[in-house]
C-alpha cells in the first residue's frame, strides 16, 4: 500500500484560502482524472466539502507523488502553488488511513461528531467509481471508512459531542438559546436547494418556523423541496418556491436567511442586505466601523489605540499590525515560526496590511524575534493589549447563516447594525472553544484499532497473489510428475492412478499449508511487506505469473465494487 493524501482544511488554512481553493463538481472530476493520468499515481479520489479539499491517491513514489498532487491541487483550485503550499498537509500510508477514518467519524470536522461527512465520503467514492479512478486500494479504504464512521456513531455517544453544521449555525445565530423557542413563528428564506440547504430547511421546519421560502436557480428543485417540507398534511408550515431574482424583495419579509449555493461569486451583497434592513425598519442600516462582533456576543468592539509593550527582544520594535498582533497571542515558538512563514507568504494578507498602513515584512521579522524569546521563556503572553471597550449593539432584525464555501454573503454584512451574520469563519472560531465529549476518546480508540486492522488486511492481501502463484506452481509440478509416472507405469488401473494422484497432492498440500498460513500472518504485521519477495525468491516464482494473478484479482474486485458504495 502506498496511500498518499494531500489536502487543506479549516484546521490548516484560513477561510479566505479555503474559499478561493474550493472546487466545483466539474473541477473535482477533472482533478481525479488528471491525477491518474500523472505518472506517480494509479488511483485517485477527491473529497471536497465546505471546509476541506483532499486528494487521495495510490502512488509508487512518495516525493514525486507529493509534488505532483500538490501541483495538481494548485492548478485546479486556481490558487498558486507557492501560496497554497504553507497550508497543505500530507499523510502517507497508515497515517493517511488514520486521517480518513478520523474524518469519517467526525473527529476532524468543524463541529466534532457531525455525521454529514459520511454522506460526503460516500459521494466522493461514488464519483471515483463512476470515473473508474478508484481501484482496489481506494475502494477498500473508502468502503472501510464508511463502516468505521457508522460504527463510531452506533457504538459511542459521539453524536452528543457535536451536531450538524446547520444546527450548530442556528445555535450561534440564537446565541445558544433554545433553537425551537427562538425560531418558533419566524419566517425563513433558504437560498439553494442542495443537500445542505435541504437540511437547513428541514431543521428550520422541525424547529417550528411559520414559513420556509426556497430560492434556487432551478425552480423545479425549489418546488420539490417545498413539497417535501409540507408532505403529510399534519403541519401548519407554509413552504413555497421563488425564483432567484425575487430574493431581494423576499429579504424584507424574512427573519432568518440561510444560504448555501454552489455559486462562485457573492449571492447576497452588503448593499442588498442593507436595503432589506431599511425595508423592514424604515431607516438606513447603520455601519459599525472596526466591528469584531461574534455570534456569541451582543456587543461591538470599539478600536483602542493604547497598546501594551510586548516582552522580549521585540520590546523596542514598533507595535504589531492588527493582523500580526491578533494572530500570535499564546503561540509557542514552533507555531510562531510557522505563522511567520504565513505572514511572509500571504499575498492577500499583504494587501490587507497595506490598507491598514502596516508593514508585513516588519511583522515577519518581529515574529521571528518573538519566536526566539518564546523558545526560552515559553509562550507569548496571552494578554497583549487591553480588552476592547464594548458598546451595546442593537438587537438584529435579520439573522443570516452562510454555509457556503466560497461564501455566499459579503463579509461586510458583519458590520451592519440590525443584522447578525454567522458564516463558516465565525463557526470555525466558535467551534474551537466547544467542549469535547468523553466519547471522543472512545472513538479515537476505535479509529486506532480499525487502522491497525486495515493495514494488516492490506499487507495480507499483498502477499495473496504470491501464495496463489506458489500453489499454482505446485499443482503444475504434481500434474507433471503424475504424467511422467503414467509413462513409466502404463499398467496402472484407474483406481491405482487416482489413489497415487491424491496421495501426491495431499503431501504437497501438507508441505505448503504451514508455510503459506504463517507467511500470511507475518505479512500482516508491520514491516511484513518483504515476505512476499522472500517467497518469490525462495521458490523462484515467475514475477509475471504473480503479476497476472494480481491483475485478475484487481479486475474482479473493481467490477464488483464499482457497482456502488455500501
Q: Is 52 annotated as a binding residue?
A: yes
What are the DSSP calls for 520-560, one per residue? HHHHHSTTTTHHHHHHHHHTT--HHHHHHHHHHHHHHHHHH
Is 194 part of any known ligand binding site?
yes
Dist. CA 266–CA 269, nearest whole Å: 6
Question: Which helix H or strand E contains 193, and what residues bound it?
Answer: none
Burial class (CB in 10 A: 0-12, 13-18, 19+), 105: buried
Q: How far is CA 380 from the centre of its chain?
A: 31
What is the DSSP secondary structure assignment for residue 58, as one 8-state letter?
E
Neighbours of 183 (CB within 10 A): 24
Residue with cell 500571504: 346
260 is in an annotated binding site: no
Burial class (CB in 10 A: 0-12, 13-18, 19+), 429: middle
Give the per-residue pLDDT at 328. 44
Q: Cα–Cα distances in Å, from 444 out to 182, 286, 428, 439?
A: 35, 48, 22, 9
Strand partners, 420: 399
Catalytic residue among 29, 50, 366, 380: 50
For residue 168, whether the previous peptide bond is cis, meaning omega lies within 30 degrees of 0, is no
| Three-class secondary structure assignment of 216-233 | CCCHHHHHHHHHHHHCCC
CA 108 to chain centre: 7
Q: Considering only CA atoms, which of 85, 48, 27, 7 is closest in space to residue 346?
A: 85
Largest Cα–Cα distance in the chain?
113
Sheet holding 419-422, edge to edge: 238-242, 211-215, 187-191, 256-259, 398-402, 419-422
Our answer to whether residue 50 is catalytic in this structure is: yes
Taking only the tens of pLDDT, the chain with its 566 residues reads 589 999 999 889 888 898 889 898 999 999 999 999 988 899 999 999 888 999 999 998 899 999 999 999 999 998 999 999 999 999 999 999 999 999 999 888 887 887 889 999 999 999 999 999 999 899 999 999 999 999 999 998 887 655 678 888 898 999 867 899 999 999 999 999 888 888 899 999 999 999 999 999 989 999 999 999 988 666 789 999 999 999 999 999 999 999 999 888 899 999 999 999 999 888 888 887 654 444 444 434 433 332 232 333 333 233 333 234 334 444 455 555 554 554 444 444 444 444 445 555 655 666 666 666 656 655 554 444 445 555 566 789 999 999 988 889 999 999 999 999 999 888 877 776 565 557 788 899 999 999 988 988 877 777 777 778 888 888 888 888 888 888 888 888 888 888 988 898 899 888 888 877 777 777 666 666 677 777 777 777 777 766 666 555 555 555 554 444 44
52-59 vs 41-49, strand pairing mode: antiparallel
Query: 109: annotated binding-site residue?
Result: yes
473 by Cβ neighbours in 10 Å (0-12 / 13-18 / 19+) ranks as: middle
Which pLDDT score is estimated for 84? 93
**Residue 528, marked binder:** no
Q: How many CB atoms lie within 10 A of CB 440?
A: 20
pLDDT score for 324: 40
Question: What 3-state DSSP class applies to 67?
Answer: helix
The answer to whether 431 touches 110, Cβ cutoff 8 Å, is: yes
Determine the Cα–Cα distance for residues 88 and 510; give it in Å rounded to an integer: 52
Q: Show the CA angle centred on residue 164, arms to residues 163 and 170, nearest 5°.
A: 95
CA pair distance 348, 354, nearest whole angstrom: 10
Is 154 known as a binding-site position? no
65 in a known ligand binding site? no
Q: What is the pLDDT of residue 524?
A: 66
Measure the CA–CA gap between 191 and 505, rounded to whole angstroms.
71
**51 a known binding residue?**
yes
pLDDT at residue 557, rounded to an integer: 52
d(CA 172, CA 525): 47
- pLDDT reported for residue 53: 95
At residue 382, φ and ψ (nearest 5 deg) are: -65, -40
Is 345 labeled as ligand-binding? no
Q: What is the pLDDT of residue 305?
A: 31
CB 369 within 8 A of CB 313: yes
β-pair partners for 545: none
| Residue 116 labelled as part of a binding site | yes
- SS3 label, residue 494: helix
> Is residue 9 part of an annotated ligand binding site?
no
Amino acid at each position: 500500500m502506498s496511500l498518499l493524501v494531500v489536502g487543506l482544511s479549516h484546521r490548516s488554512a484560513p477561510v479566505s484560502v479555503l474559499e478561493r481553493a474550493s472546487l466545483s463538481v466539474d473541477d473535482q472530476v477533472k482533478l481525479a482524472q488528471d491525477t491518474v493520468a500523472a505518472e506517480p499515481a494509479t488511483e485517485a479520489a477527491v473529497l471536497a466539502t465546505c471546509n476541506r479539499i483532499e486528494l487521495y491517491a495510490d502512488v509508487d513514489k512518495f516525493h514525486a507523488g507529493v509534488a505532483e498532487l500538490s501541483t495538481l491541487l494548485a492548478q485546479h483550485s486556481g490558487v498558486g502553488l507557492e501560496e497554497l503550499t504553507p497550508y497543505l498537509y500530507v499523510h502517507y500510508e497508515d497515517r493517511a488511513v488514520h486521517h480518513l477514518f478520523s474524518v469519517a467519524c467526525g473527529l476532524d470536522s468543524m463541529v466534532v461528531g457531525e455525521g454529514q461527512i459520511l454522506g460526503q465520503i460516500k459521494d466522493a467514492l461514488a464519483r471515483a467509481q463512476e470515473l473508474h479512478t478508484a481501484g482496489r486500494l481506494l475502494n477498500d479504504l473508502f468502503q472501510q471508512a464508511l463502516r468505521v464512521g457508522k460504527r463510531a456513531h452506533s457504538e459511542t455517544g459521539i453524536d452528543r459531542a457535536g451536531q450538524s453544521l446547520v444546527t450548530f449555525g442556528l445555535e450561534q445565530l440564537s446565541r445558544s438559546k433554545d433553537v425551537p423557542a427562538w425560531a418558533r413563528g419566524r419566517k425563513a428564506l433558504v437560498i439553494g436547494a442542495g443537500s445542505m440547504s435541504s437540511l437547513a430547511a428541514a431543521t428550520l421546519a422541525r424547529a417550528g418556523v411559520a414559513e420556509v421560502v426556497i430560492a434556487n436557480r432551478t425552480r423545479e428543485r425549489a418546488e420539490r423541496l417545498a413539497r417535501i417540507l409540507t408532505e403529510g398534511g399534519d403541519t401548519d408550515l407554509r413552504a413555497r418556491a421563488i425564483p432567484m431574482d425575487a430574493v431581494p424583495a423576499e429579504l424584507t419579509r424574512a427573519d432568518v436567511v440561510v444560504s448555501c449555493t454552489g455559486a462562485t461569486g457573492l449571492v447576497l451583497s452588503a448593499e442588498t442586505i442593507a436595503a432589506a434592513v431599511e425595508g423592514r425598519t424604515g431607516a438606513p442600516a447603520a455601519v459599525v466601523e472596526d466591528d469584531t462582533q461574534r455570534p456569541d456576543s451582543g456587543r461591538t468592539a470599539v478600536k483602542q489605540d493604547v497598546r501594551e509593550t510586548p516582552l522580549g527582544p521585540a520590546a523596542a520594535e514598533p507595535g504589531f499590525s492588527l493582523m500580526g498582533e491578533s494572530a500570535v497571542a499564546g503561540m509557542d515558538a514552533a507555531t510562531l515560526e510557522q505563522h511567520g512563514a504565513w505572514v511572509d507568504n500571504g499575498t492577500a494578507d499583504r494587501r490587507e496590511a497595506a490598507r491598514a498602513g502596516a508593514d508585513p515584512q516588519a511583522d515577519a521579522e518581529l515574529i521571528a524575534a518573538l519566536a526566539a524569546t518564546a523558545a526560552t521563556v515559553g509562550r507569548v503572553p496571552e494578554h497583549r493589549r487591553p480588552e476592547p471597550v464594548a458598546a451595546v449593539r442593537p438587537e438584529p432584525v435579520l439573522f443570516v447563516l452562510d454555509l457556503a464555501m466560497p461564501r455566499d454573503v459579503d463579509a461586510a454584512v458583519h458590520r451592519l447594525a440590525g443584522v447578525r451574520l454567522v458564516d463558516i469563519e465565525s463557526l470555525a472560531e466558535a467551534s474551537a472553544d466547544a467542549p469535547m465529549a468523553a466519547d471522543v476518546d472512545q472513538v479515537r480508540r476505535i479509529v486506532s484499532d480499525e487502522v491497525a486492522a486495515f493495514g494488516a488486511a492490506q499487507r495480507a492481501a499483498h502477499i495473496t497473489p504470491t501464495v496463489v502463484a506458489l500453489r499454482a506452481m505446485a499443482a503444475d509440478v504434481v500434474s507433471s510428475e503424475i504424467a511422467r509416472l503414467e509413462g513409466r507405469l502404463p499398467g496402472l488401473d484407474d483406481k491405482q492412478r487416482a489413489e497415487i494422484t491424491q496421495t501426491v497432492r495431499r503431501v504437497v498440500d501438507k508441505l505448503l499449508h504451514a508455510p503459506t498460513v504463517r507467511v500470511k500472518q507475518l505479512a500482516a504485521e508491520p514491516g511484513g511487506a518483504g515476505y512476499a519477495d522472500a517467497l518469490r525468491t525462495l521458490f523462484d516464482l515467475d514475477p509475471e505469473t504473480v503479476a497476472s494473478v494480481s491483475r485478475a484479482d484487481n479486475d474482479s474486485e473493481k467490477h464488483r465494487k464499482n457497482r456502488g458504495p455500501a
